[in-house]
Every structure is written in C-alpha cells, then in structure tokens.
Amino acid sequence: MSERLYGVFFEDINHSADGGLNANMVNNYSFDGVYLDHHTWRAAGSDRWRTQADPLRFWDFNNCSAVSYGTEIRGAHGQRMTTDCPEPPVHANSRYVRITAPRPLWLHHRDHGRLVSIRHQSQRKNHRLRQIAHHRGIQQ
C-alpha cells in the first residue's frame, strides 16, 4: 500500500453515529425503528402533504385509498385499521390489527410467509364474531 494513500473510513453499524442502540429505539419490544414516509394525496382537487410514522407499512386492504395516521389507516369508503399491543403482550412481538369496515373487505400482508389472523365483526346486530386464519393468502 502506498505511503501517500490516506483517508478516513467510518462504518455506521447499529446507529453508532447517533450514539448506538438505546432504549428510545425500542418499538414493540424490538428495534423496529420509526419509518417516516413522505406522501402526497389528492383529495377534492387539492394536494395534501403529510409525514408519518408508518408501522402498518406492510399491510394493504382493498376498496380504499389508504391514508395512515400514525397507527391508524382510514380508507375512502369508511374502512379503518388500527394497531394495538396488549398489556402485557402475548409474546415479544405481539401486534394486533383492528379493522372496521362498513362492507366486506380482504386483508393482505406483503410478507406471505407469516400466519395472518383476522377477527371479523359484522355491522349487523346479533351477528357473532368469527375467526379467519389466512396463510400465504389461502383461507384455512
């Protein structure tokens, strides 16, 4: 190696430039981090811009143009999806999604390798809750 060669190398691993991993970065009992996205929506001919933390970034559902507000996504047709973490959590990565919709909808998780559980409650009176489990997009 040449004696004239010099420089500085810095590798930022585990947020070391920002002081390393710390308790403030723990999200849902893991280092999920905060996902900030910049989105622009058109609503009634006007543009809106919003920066948001997007913990629901891997979830899609039909019949809506989803807009997320922190841990809640609201659809154009009255759908609402919120995340919740129980106290105490069932396991280290417990995360629940509550979906409210005036009409039937489907829910899709982009990571198809995981079990997705949906609890559906009908808007009709005297209708019972039912548990639907999907694995790789196939109803079981």
Least Cα distance to 68 among 54, 48, 49, 84 occurs for: 54
pLDDT at 4 over 70: yes
102-131 as b/e: b if 16+ CB within 10 A: eeebebebeeeeeebeeeeeeeeeeeeeee
From CA 71, how far away is CA 56, in angstroms rounded?
Answer: 7
pTM to 2 decimal places: 0.24
Tell whether 17 is covered by a domain: no
Tell whether 83 is covered by a domain: yes
pLDDT at 117 over 50: no
Tell whether 9 is covered by a domain: no
CB 90 within 8 A of CB 106: no
Tell whether 23 is covered by a domain: no
Q: Which tens digit of pLDDT belongs to each residue from 14-63?
A: 666 666 666 666 666 665 554 444 444 444 444 444 434 444 555 544 44
Higher pLDDT, 110 or 43: 110
Question: What local confidence, expressed as pLDDT, does residue 49 receive?
Answer: 41
Ranking 6-10, 57-61, 80-84 by mean pLDDT, the lowest is: 57-61
Domain that holds residue 116: 37-139
Total number of domains constituting the chain: 1
